Amino acid sequence: MGCTVIVDGFYGDTGKGKIVSYLSVKDDIAVCARAGVGPNAGHTVVHEGKTYKLRMIPCGFVNPNAHMMIGVGVLVNPEIVLKEIRETGIEKRFGLDPQCAIIEQKHIVLDQTDENLKDVVKTTGTGTGPCNADRVMRIAKMARDIPELKEYIIDVPLIINKALDEGKNVLIEGTQGTYISLYFGQYPYVTSKDVCASAACSDVGVGPTRVTDVVLVLKSYVTRVGGGVLEGEISSEEAKRRNWDEYGTVTGRQRRAAEFNYNLAKRAAMINGATQIALTKLDILYPSCKGEQNYNNLESEAKAFIKKIEEKVGIPVMLIGTGPSVEDIIDRR
Ligand code: IMP
Ligand code: MG
């Protein structure tokens, strides 16, 4: 598999965490490197009966032989990183870049009080936008300045590129989603940087010529939090009726919901240079698919849905999520 980049083709919360965890275990990876904005992300991993809610640590930690890294582009909240290192027990196989910018209390306060951020953009309030602003102003603190992080500082680009030189497998874990990218989303209802595949590579110090595959993660329906347009949005009551009501991992807010959007999926595949699709939560649309691991056993309507996605987007659906656990997946690779 070489170097695989995992990105979200909608508005975030498509279930990337589960896909990253599955690939980490299945594909015997050497390194899983976290890209994306920072702790505004919330990834849920259900593994061996335990549920982990992660905001900083790569979801690939479930592979005990793999090294977990946070790339230079990612904003770090030291308190959250240290807590998650302890919770996942990865002290001996974790590292982050010396030039990750550090989220401070003042960034969090500003993110939660600034009227535009709070009431218009409706940010997660985790301080990421104000921290990125300070980073651009060249006044941000760096991970290398924080004594508590000292033992974890490593040369992330060197380690990843060396692993690739040696023919090992690497996963680059993107966060957020194509349509909340600062560039490709509906400005100003976006996060504070680009979060597409090229940006994810840049976040961890990997050049575009090294990438083998880009996996576009799409959920079987669309959700978004915060402001901005959501085409085909259904009411929150209707979402509850369909079992599409979801609540933010970081904020607890009910997510807005709409039907699967083929046009958005196709455009996301283009922008990210996607080579394959991972479709998640098929069991929510088709409950008979729950826990299924064999494509042939899917009901015919579910197969027709998958076929339609492949036809409209133009790339194959290789992974299909059929339940919350890492093992609830159909692998067609
Ligand atoms: P910020 O990233 O906290 O500045 O928030 C900007 C917008 O992006 C808001 O609409 C957030 O709800 C949204 N957002 C940021 N991170 C995520 C994520 O990981 N999943 C879904 N939405 C996100
Ligand atoms: Mg999330």
What CATH number should be reported for the domain holding residue 298?
A: 3.40.440.10
Cα of 1 to ligand 1 centre, how many Å? Answer: 30
The pLDDT assigned to 249 comes to: 74
Q: Residue type at 123?
A: T
Q: What are phi and psi of 213, to 5 degrees?
A: -140, 145
Question: Over the stretch 236-294, which tens digit does the pLDDT of each residue have?
Answer: 999 999 999 999 877 788 999 999 999 999 999 999 999 999 999 999 999 999 999 99
Atom of ligand 1 nearest to the CA of 226: 10
Q: Name the stretches of the chain with pLDDT < 70.
A: none
Domain that holds residue 177: 3-331
Residues, CB-to-ion distance under 5 Å, ligand 2: 13, 42, 249
Cα of 219 to ligand 2 centre, how many Å? Answer: 12
Q: Which helix (H) or strand (E) holds 167?
A: none
The pLDDT assigned to 162 comes to: 98
The pLDDT assigned to 111 comes to: 98
Q: How many domains does the chain have?
A: 1
Quote the pTM value: 0.97
Residue with tokens 């401070």: 104
Q: Which ligand is nearest to the CA of 224?
A: 1
* Exposed e or buried b per residue across 37-60, where buried means at least 16 C-beta atoms within 10 angstroms of its C-beta: bbbbbbbbbbbeeeebebbbbbbb
